[in-house]
């Protein structure tokens, strides 16, 4: 898009990113208040060439409450009394929440009580900044405006809503002629957002949508300073030798732009990967040239033995730096810095038409989850890092971002932690209005095509150097048509986009790119664990871009934080009740399908506590089965699985569905079921053919393993036992079948337990997995499959678990602290004298008031122990999250009474026996 120039300045636009996350700390989202008049703190901008200073915050007010002219509002000294403070990245509602205008929207139906009318008119965003030397050039550089804005500087309009529109478009305004020494003012008049009318961001069925529809500014507004020559678009194109990884070629590119009225000669110099770069460039007045350094002219850019970037679990995450300076007459005029990684990503279609990713020449199964930002697009780096560390802890290797594409810091974190990312455009609103007639997005205008292409150009330029980014999905539920696809691909090519482009997350095709190689067949609501083993619909074949068994009931601690006692009463008593914390969708408005399965398989809940404990068992077995099925089928000769994205990894608010952990980062059955399934070396049960398989997610083959399978009745009576030695398995996701359980076992109850163990050549246990199974299988009616689930006509009988006797469990715990990180070590032991195991023993780290300490990463959890067995678990967390309290551990289980023991120092065993 090439907008009009306003008098006295120049405007250039391209496109860039958006999306923002949530945090647990509301204060991290609040704007800084100037005590003099309630406006945002004044930002002090240095004169240093190449500096880019984000505005520290805004003062905001509805235009309905402001009678002054735009020129007055945007002039220094305007008395913004009564305006609300907002952070540097803030929607309108996020600012109001931080200022205490509304009650916590994540509790009960508080969100529903916030009126929509205040957000149906424009809002002013106003901020002051100071400069000492106005002779330097000054630019405003920003993106993340939702939905559009008129922009003013020091009383003058410098852009209008036709120029500044779309959440992802990036804008650079040259405001040098308007800036003076001292205080300067920038003001944005933000237009209301409608995701069906604007190429911004919307919500579908993940959560109850915010009443302001995310209107605001959700990325930094930067004040850039420099001399006559600006450096822009600096990046590095890498080419890694595959499969040897012995060499890599680097090509450095940047644009040198002369913003003065006279010709200049600029010296572009710098370093990349330890290699010195220098080039003299002549520029006519207002001319831009691309400066390129390649191995042909700079031999050092042909690297021997490059440091190669790998996903977590496959290798290290080394990063390189690019630093450039443009100088004129020996004085620095501008600088550029980029961080990048060297890796090779490919994703061709396999013989079955499924997309198969490989990185650095090694095939990998994408094991991911769908990422949600905070509902109000609030960014908190610590909270984002905590969740990405959870992904690594779970053994996942990828995160899918369907729209809501996060700010730069998110991808910096993903680079450092080794989490692959799959960003792309969102479904079902204006983004697919031209190609998805079944949804609510409006058809595109001519202007929309330009905004979409500018959005793609900006996101490509922003994301291309991040080694964690391994694709861009230019469609979600629908693929783009020929015109939209060409615009996207042209923008990506112009940005030197280095990784595969996928036309859709569903089984759709685009004219140039062809088939997506992905499927979006669901399910999104409850199906039994055996479902995942069928090579059809959402089962473990091909690449499933979003799928899960729907509801993920959080822990009792979280439920009590987010719902009233009356709501909690309805939760477990009335399956037909509309659940506000599930979804605004009519399809997912209740928990009817889930609750029917819970009752049919485990028995009717007797209380809220009983409902939640049964939910944790159900979620553990189902999430585990989903990942295990895809892992077992990864190397199949026919219709292998190539990728699975759990829908979703997390929720943007306090939810009852689609989350591996809850909003407060507490963990239950879904989390630990995923963690168990994704162990590096793993023994697992197959629901389709009763085989016991060993899956090796490491690169190196393993041999000399011993697998053992033992079956028990719920009372602990052993009914079957078999040990197989000399088990070998290749690496990179290969599996081998150690044994197959018999179709029938004499004396086995209709509900029974299967304990699987795997020992290495030295006899050390390296994997342990316990299943609760039934001689009566769940029955699916495949003929009635719809887009969101396959109905179950009869349920497996797991009611025998309720007959398990309560058993005594003991726990001891101690804590050590170093460098701000605490580690609590807990040993739990089944001290029962009978045969009954302690099923799914859960350990929660809590403070002195019994509140969970979060986030926390456990070595293992929700373990099952037979009499005499023990397990030692470790929990790692920030010491500061104890808030000065002494840590404790709360131990509970399916058939053990909850008790809490101190963890500050080693303590004698405390029995967890029946009351």
- Provide the annotated active-site residues: 477, 546
Tell me how crowded residue 571 is: count the other CB atoms within 10 A of its CB: 22
Q: In degrees rounded to 5, what are phi and psi of residue 239?
A: -135, 110
Separation of alpha carbons 859 and 876, rounded Å: 8
Contact by Cβ (8 Å): 86, 60:
yes
CB atoms < 10 A from the CB of 709, how many? Answer: 23
Residue with tokens 């629908």: 478
Residue 901 · residue 849 · CB < 8 Å: no
Q: How far apart are CA 211 and CA 392, in angstroms?
A: 34
Other CB atoms within 10 A of residue 653 CB:
22
Q: How many CA atoms lie within 13 A of 427 on its CB side?
A: 20
Strands (E), 718-791: 718-729, 734-740, 751-759, 765-774, 779-780
Report the DSSP beta bridge partners of residue 372.
none
Please report where in the chains the tokens 């989350």 appear, as a residue. 659
Q: Distance between terminal CA atoms of the chain?
A: 71
How many CB atoms sit inside 10 A of residue 884's CB?
A: 8
Q: Which two tokens stand for residue 320?
A: 């390189």
Paired strand residues for 139: 174, 224
Region at 379 (left for phi over 0; alpha for psi -120 to 50; beta for the rest): beta
Gyration radius of the chain's alpha carbons: 29
Please answer whether residues 860 and 769 qualify as being in contact, where contact means their C-beta atoms are separated by less than 8 angstroms. Answer: no
Distance CA 453, CA 541 (A): 34
* 506 backbone dihedrals φ, ψ, rounded to 5°: -105, 175
What's the length of the chain?
915
Helix (H) or strand (E) holding 707: strand 702-712
Q: In terms of DSSP H, where are the helices of 284-380? A: none
DSSP conformation letters of 16-58? --------S-GGGGSPPBPTTTS-BPPEE----TT-EEE---E
Return the closest-CA partner of residue 145 out of 203, 89, 208.
89
DSSP label at residue 111: G
The C-alpha atoms of residue 648 and residue 552 are separated, in whole angstroms, by 10
Longest dimension (CA), the chain: 94
Number of Cβ within 10 Å of residue 239's Cβ equals 15
SS3 of residue 608 by DSSP: helix
**DSSP assignment, residue 903?**
-
Check if the beta carbon of residue 523 is closer than 8 Å to that of residue 531.
yes
> How crowded is residue 900: how many other Cβ atoms within 10 Å of its Cβ?
17
In terms of phi and psi (left: phi > 0; alpha: psi -120 to 50; beta: otherwise), the region of 359 is: beta
**Among candidate residues 559, 563, 564, 538, the one with its CA nearest the CA of residue 550:** 538
């Amino acid at each position: 898009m090439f907008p009009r120039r306003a008098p006295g300045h120049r405007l250039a636009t391209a496109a860039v990113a958006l999306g923002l996350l949530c945090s647990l700390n509301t204060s991290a989202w609040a704007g800084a208040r100037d005590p003099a008049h309630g406006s945002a703190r004044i930002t002090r901008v240095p004169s240093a060439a190449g500096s880019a200073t984000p505005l520290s915050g805004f003062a905001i007010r509805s235009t309905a409450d402001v009678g002054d002219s735009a020129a007055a509002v945007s002039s220094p000294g305007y008395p913004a009394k009564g305006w609300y403070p907002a952070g540097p990245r803030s929607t309108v509602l996020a600012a109001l929440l931080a200022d205490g205008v509304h009650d916590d929207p994540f509790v009960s139906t508080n969100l529903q009580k916030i009126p929509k009318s205040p957000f149906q008119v424009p809002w002013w965003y106003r901020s002051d900044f100071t400069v000492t030397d106005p002779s330097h050039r000054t630019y405003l550089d920003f993106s993340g405006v939702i939905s559009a804005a008129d922009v003013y500087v020091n009383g003058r309009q410098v852009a209008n809503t036709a120029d500044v529109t779309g959440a992802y478009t990036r804008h650079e305004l040259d405001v040098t002629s308007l800036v003076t020494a001292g205080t300067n003012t920038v003001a944005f008049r933000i237009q209301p957002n409608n995701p069906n009318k604007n190429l911004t961001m919307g919500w579908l069925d993940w959560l109850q949508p915010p009443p302001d529809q995310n209107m605001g500014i959700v990325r930094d507004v930067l004040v850039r300073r420099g001399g006559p020559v600006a450096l822009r678009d600096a990046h590095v194109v890498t080419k890694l030798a595959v499969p040897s990884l012995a060499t890599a070629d680097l090509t450095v590119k940047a644009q040198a732009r002369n913003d003065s009225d006279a010709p200049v000669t600029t010296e572009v110099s710098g370093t990349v990967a330890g290699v010195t770069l220098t080039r003299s460039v002549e520029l006519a007045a207002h001319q831009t040239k691309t400066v390129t350094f390649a191995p042909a002219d700079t031999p050092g850019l042909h690297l021997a033995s490059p440091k190669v970037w790998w996903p977590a679990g496959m290798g290290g995450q080394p990063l390189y730096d690019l630093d450039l300076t443009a100088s004129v007459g020996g004085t620095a005029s501008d600088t550029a810095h980029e961080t990048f990684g060297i890796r090779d990503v490919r994703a061709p279609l396999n013989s079955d038409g499924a997309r198969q990713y490989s990185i650095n020449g090694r095939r990998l199964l994408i094991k991911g989850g769908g990422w949600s930002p905070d509902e109000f697009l609030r960014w908190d780096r610590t909270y984002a890092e905590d969740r990405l560390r959870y992904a690594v802890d779970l053994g996942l290797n990828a995160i899918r971002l369907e729209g809501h594409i996060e700010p730069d810091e998110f991808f910096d974190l993903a680079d450092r932690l080794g989490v692959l990312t799959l960003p792309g455009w969102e479904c079902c609103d204006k983004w697919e209005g031209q190609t998805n007639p079944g949804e609510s997005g409006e058809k595109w205008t001519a202007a929309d095509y330009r905004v979409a292409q500018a959005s793609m150009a900006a996101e490509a330029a922003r994301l291309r150097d991040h080694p964690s980014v391994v694709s861009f999905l230019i469609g979600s539920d629908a693929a783009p048509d020929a015109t939209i696809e060409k615009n996207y691909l042209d923008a990506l090519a112009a940005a030197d986009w280095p990784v595969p482009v996928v036309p859709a997350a569903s089984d759709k095709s685009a004219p140039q790119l062809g088939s997506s190689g992905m499927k979006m067949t669901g399910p999104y609501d409850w199906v039994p664990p055996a479902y995942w083993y069928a090579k059809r619909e959402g089962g473990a074949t091909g690449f499933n871009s979003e799928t899960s068994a729907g509801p993920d009931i959080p822990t009792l601690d979280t439920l009590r934080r987010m719902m009233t006692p009356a709501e909690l009463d309805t939760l477990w008593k009335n399956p037909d009740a509309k659940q506000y914390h599930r979804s605004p969708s009519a399809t997912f408005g209740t928990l009817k399908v889930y609750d029917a399965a819970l009752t049919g398989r485990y028995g009717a809940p007797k209380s809220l506590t009983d409902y939640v404990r049964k939910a944790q068992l159900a979620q553990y077995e189902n999430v585990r089965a989903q990942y295990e099925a895809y892992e077992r089928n990864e190397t199949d000769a026919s219709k292998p699985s190539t990728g699975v994205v759990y829908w979703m990894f997390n929720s943007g608010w306090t939810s009852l569905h689609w989350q591996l952990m809850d909003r407060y980062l507490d963990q239950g059955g879904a989390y630990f079921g995923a963690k168990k399934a994704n162990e590096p070396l793993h023994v697992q049960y197959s629901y389709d053919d009763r085989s016991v398989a060993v899956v090796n997610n490491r690169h190196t083959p393993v041999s000399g393993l011993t697998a053992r399978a033992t079956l028990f009745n719920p009372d602990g009576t052993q009914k079957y036992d078999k040990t197989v030695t000399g088990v070998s398995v290749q690496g990179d996701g290969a599996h081998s079948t150690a044994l197959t359980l018999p179709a029938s076992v004499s004396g086995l109850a209709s509900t029974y337990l299967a304990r699987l163990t795997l020992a290495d050549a030295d006899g050390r246990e390296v994997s342990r997995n316990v299943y609760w199974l039934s001689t009566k299988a769940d029955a699916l009616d495949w003929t009635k499959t719809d887009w969101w689930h396959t109905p179950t006509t009869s349920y497996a009988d797991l009611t025998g678990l309720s007959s398990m006797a309560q058993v005594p469990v003991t726990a001891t715990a101690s804590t050590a602290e170093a460098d701000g990180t605490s580690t609590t070590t807990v040993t739990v032991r089944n001290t029962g004298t009978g045969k009954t195991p302690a099923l799914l023993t859960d350990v929660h780290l809590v403070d002195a008031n019994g509140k969970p300490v979060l986030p926390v990463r456990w070595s293992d959890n929700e373990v099952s122990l037979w009499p005499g067995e023990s397990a030692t678990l470790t929990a790692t967390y920030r010491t500061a999250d104890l808030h000065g309290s002494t840590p404790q551990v709360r131990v509970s289980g399916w058939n053990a009474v909850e008790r809490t023991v101190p963890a500050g120092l080693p303590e004698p065993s405390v029995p967890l026996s029946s009351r």
